[in-house]
């Protein structure tokens, strides 16, 4: 994957140092909208990062199946967990 490198002038960097907290916040919001699709912007309840040991073969099979159906595997895991809890 190729990524573009952006260079900033000394004048631009100096102007950034004088930005207010509100201006920085607005910049970050605008940046998010430019670089992340609305699907990727989190709007649900907070998440907890966990560590989970899973058999290598099982995980590979699960990821392959999700990929073949154009699904995100972690999202599919959460969907299955929710279905099981709600049943």
pLDDT one-digit tens code per residue, 60-74? 999 999 999 999 999
**Confidence band of 41 (pLDDT split at 50, 70, 90):** low
Ordered by start, the domain boundaries in the chain are 10-86
Q: Convert the pLDDT of each residue in 76-85 to its tens digit.
A: 999 999 999 9
What's the pLDDT at 52? 92
For 20, phi then psi, to 5°, come to -80, 165
Q: What is the CA radius of gyration of the chain?
A: 20
Would you report the helix, strand and coil content of the chain in percent, each value rounded to 5? 55, 0, 45
Which residue matches tokens 């907890």?
48
pTM value surpassing 0.85: no
Q: How far is CA 73 from the centre of its chain?
A: 14
Q: Which two tokens stand for residue 10?
A: 């000394």
């Amino acid at each position: 994957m190729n990524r573009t490198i952006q260079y900033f002038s000394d004048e631009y960097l100096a102007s950034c140092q004088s930005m207010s907290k509100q201006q920085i916040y607005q910049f970050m919001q605008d940046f998010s909208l430019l670089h992340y699709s609305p699907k990727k912007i989190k709007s649900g309840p907070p998440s907890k990062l966990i560590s989970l040991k899973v058999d290598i073969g099982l995980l590979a099979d699960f990821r392959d199946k999700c990929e073949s159906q154009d699904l995100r595997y972690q999202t599919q895991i959460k969907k299955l967990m929710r279905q099981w809890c709600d049943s």
